[in-house]
Structure 1
Amino acid sequence: MQNKITEMMYKTWILSGWLCVAFVGARAQEAKTWTMDDCMRYAAENSLKVRAEKHQDDTYRAEYRAAMADFFPSVGMRIGGQLNYGRSIDPQTNTYNNVSTFNNSYQAYASLPLFDGGQLVNRAKAAAINRQLGAHEVRRVQNEAALAVMEAFSNAVYYGGTVRLAIEKLDESRQTLHKTRRMEELGLKGAADVAQVEAIVAADDYNLIHQQNLYDAAVRTLKEAMNYPAEDALMMDTSVMVWRENATTLSAEEIFSRAVTDNPTMRAAECRRLAAQHLYRVARGAMFPQLTFEAGISTNYFRNLADPHTTAFSRQFFDNNRGEYVAVTLSIPLFDGLARYTSARRARNAMRMADVQRDETLRQLRTAVEQAVADRDGFEKEVVQMARKVAADSMAYRVTLRKYEEGLSSAIDLQTAANTLIEARANLLQKQLSYEIKRRLVAYYASDCEWSTINYEPKK
């Protein structure tokens, strides 16, 4: 009995230990603070589009291996069995008879293309380029997911900041209402003043609820962009909103020159153009004659079912019926309903469209780089000016509050000054976040080492 009690206590102690570990782990998971880079990296690793593109990348790699394997000889084997009833040819006498026979044939052969108009070579080159295309496409989709999360994260941080500003404004309004009521008791303010301040408190309370709803919607959008579980909590690090003067000093032209060679979208477009050129050569090569070398060995076993004296299987298989052959085949296409001509024309048009798409991607990239640099520089100046405006509006609000307490201004003047200050602070936060987004975007186009949110290297 004592042993059972001891055993039960031991199991209970073990279970309690595991529960504590699980509880601590869950608390640690809940307490994790997600930075912008963490969210971007999570999206790059868990986006459904990234997963789909990785499968496509694996397909490109399989096609490359198949294209390289086409250079090796094709080896095959044929085995057949035939049972004849009635009139047939006797392979021993080469005459017709009416007996039942059994014929078992074996053949092993290998074929190798000697000339096919360059189809094998160009198909292998196109497959090699598509393999690079798969890696660039994975990188491109990862970057798109990360950029979408960067914007969604900034929106969530912005509305989180407006919620804090609304809380501060509501607290100040409640303090002002308390002071106004005390001043009414002392005869310094009237009932109208108290009513006006109460209306301000109600408006601030509504604004807080409205900003909280906007923040919740922004967090849901962020989770959706990250492919993050909607039921899990997401605690964000808002330090990203601190403005840092560490932008790259490269000009827009220098950044564009880097982006042309390093941007995955541009490299993918270039890969499509090169692959289309090789596929056009493949289609054009199908119009040339094809020369194929083939070699093989064959044998068979024959038995007359009515004759008990049949030559042994091993003797027929290895000695009597075995034969080898070597052949060179020349295939000349003459007319196939214009199928080869149509394929070549379709491939030529695909090549030309790939050239146009590459030029369009180049133009869009230049425009995006110039716009990103201009927006970054513009937001940098706006941040400086808005910070000065916040300082001036803060001083004006304090002066108005002082005048209100001394009876020299009305509650409407106080509300106007407070709203002006809150709006300025919210605009400053928005400009800081906009500057941070554009600064990171310019660093992305410049392939700056600071852009390290994604660290994916496809398997070789």
Structure 2
Amino acid sequence: MIKNDYLDYKTGLHRLKFFIYSLLLVIGYWLLAATSYSETLNLEQCIEIALKENPKIKIAEQKIISAKAKKTEAFSGYLPNISGNFSYLKKSEVEGADSLAGLTSASPSFKISFSDEIYDSKLSLTQPVFMWGKIYHSNKQSKLNYKYYEEDYKKIKQDTIFSVKEAFYKVILAKQMVSIAKEAFEVNTYHLKSVEKFYQEGKVSSYDVSRAKVLVANSKTNLIRSENGFDLAKQSLINVLNIKNNDIEFLGELIYMLTEQDLNNLVEKALNNRPEIKQMLLQKQISESLVKLIAAGNKPNIVVIGSAEWQNTELEKKNWYNTWSAAAVLNIPIFDGLSTYYKTKQAKSNLEQVILSKELLEEGIKLEVRSAYFSYKQAKGSIEANKENVSAAKENYFTAQKRFDLGLMSNLEVRDAQLDLTQAETNYAQALYDYNLAIALIERAIGMEAK
């Protein structure tokens, strides 16, 4: 019997362990699935991840939550302050207690004052009635401060999106540079074989062979450098996304989508939409409200106070002695040592600084928009100039190589054609990168709303 019970106990224990291990595996798999990402990511997916994982955005979200709580807290200044307390007093000696013994019609308050035990319960209320705008401006500042952090959140989102686009475009550019370098290496390797063949036939000199080998070595070095640059660009993007997975392939291409941009329209959009401008306008309103709040520091205020009190000599008694009082208090500050005057002067100076800072910010934003616009125009012109150049350079190289194979063109001319092709492809890829980056710069410069 004991043996069977022991076996049942062992079986149950094994089942419990199996259940716990299974549960841990399921939880671990769920956590891994929740934090891992696909092995291939495009630009839109990268932006989505960055907006979710970026610590700066999380901090900005918490600032909004804090500002919202502060806004609710400030409204409490309009509401009454109610407090209650209960006390018990025990006296070691009661003066006049003997004279009280002969009194039968003494008032409850008189009896309580000569009692050796007193139970006291009190409820107090304080209600601001007129504070010369102190509560109003305190509320106004908290509301403006909440809006300020909302704009700060928008700015951080826009900056994050731009950082992702910039890093993503660098990855795509680096990937194209690897392809160009690989193509150049293969072309030079093929050309070296042709030169070595002609050397064996006595058609070219050893110098031509040596030059062809140098080109292969240089192109190999450039390929290694390009591959390292590609790995570095990928790691930079992974850091921007704030993820741990390094085995990710980024899919996309640098496209040329013709768009027309008007400088004056861009400047106008920037001045209307940039979160920094809106923040500065809010900061100006906050500073104006602060001037009025500080100036009210030496102004009269009215407060209503009231209290109700219950006393008894025994806790169990039902009939407690009750008193109440109410008062309206007018407080008139007479002299505060000029403290309010100088605090107000400081606040007005800070307000003037905000106004001047806003003007500087507007000029800086205008310059930023112009810089992005001219980068866009330059990249656009470079694309149009280099697009046909790549096709021509490819045709020239293949023609030169065929003529060289037929002995109709020198080794030097083939090398020049190959260098022209590599340079044309590099310039075109760089122009595409500059164009896409310029569009991203314009979107950030005009404060385009993050979707």
* Counterpart residue identity of residue 313, structure 1: K
Matches of 1:447 and 1:344 in 2, distance apart? 35
Identity, in percent, stands at 16
> For residues 97-133 of structure 1, what are the alpha-carbon distances to aligned partners after superposition, in whole Å with 9 as ceiling and x for unaligned?
8xx8232221112221111110111111111111111
Equivalence map 1:19-98=2 (5 Å): 32-86=39-93, 93=110
Equivalence map 1:31-430=2 (5 Å): 32-86=39-93, 93=110, 101-229=116-244, 231-239=245-253, 241-245=254-258, 247-249=259-261, 251-302=262-313, 313-315=317-319, 317=320, 321-430=321-430
> For residues 183-242 of structure 1, what are the alpha-carbon distances to aligned partners after superposition, in whole Å with 9 as ceiling and x for unaligned?
33444344433332222211111111111111111222222222222x432311232x12
How many angstroms does 1:327 deviate by?
Answer: 0.9
Matches of 1:410 and 1:119 in 2, distance apart? 89
* Counterpart residue identity of residue 243, structure 1: Y
Distance 1:95 1:277, change over 3 A: closer
Moved more, 199-208 or 170-179: 170-179
Matches of 1:358 and 1:263 in 2, distance apart? 12
CA RMSD, Structure 1 to Structure 2 (Å)? 3.0
How many angstroms does 1:255 deviate by?
Answer: 2.3
Contact kept in structure 1, 2:192 and 2:213, CA below 8 Å = yes
Moved more, 335-344 or 415-424: 335-344
* Counterpart residue identity of residue 247, structure 2: A
Contact kept in structure 2, 1:88 and 1:96, CA below 8 Å = no
> For residues 315-348 of structure 1, what are the alpha-carbon distances to aligned partners after superposition, in whole Å with 9 as ceiling and x for unaligned?
1x2xxx2112111111222334444334323322
Matches of 2:443 and 2:346 in 1, distance apart? 40
Contact kept in structure 2, 1:40 and 1:147, CA below 8 Å = no
Contact kept in structure 2, 1:149 and 1:226, CA below 8 Å = yes
TM-score by length of 2: 0.83
How many angstroms does 1:165 deviate by?
Answer: 0.5
Matches of 2:260 and 2:48 in 1, distance apart? 22
Structure 2: 5+ residue stretches without partners: 1-17, 98-107
Structure 1: 5+ residue stretches without partners: 1-10, 304-310, 456-460
* Counterpart residue identity of residue 161, structure 2: A
Contact kept in structure 1, 2:93 and 2:116, CA below 8 Å = no
* Counterpart residue identity of residue 295, structure 1: G
Contact kept in structure 1, 2:38 and 2:248, CA below 8 Å = no
Distance 1:422 1:88, change over 3 A: farther
Matches of 1:95 and 1:382 in 2, distance apart? 98
Matches of 1:225 and 1:192 in 2, distance apart? 49
How many angstroms does 1:66 deviate by?
Answer: 0.8
Distance 1:392 1:95, change over 3 A: closer
Distance 1:95 1:111, change over 3 A: closer
* Counterpart residue identity of residue 58, structure 1: I
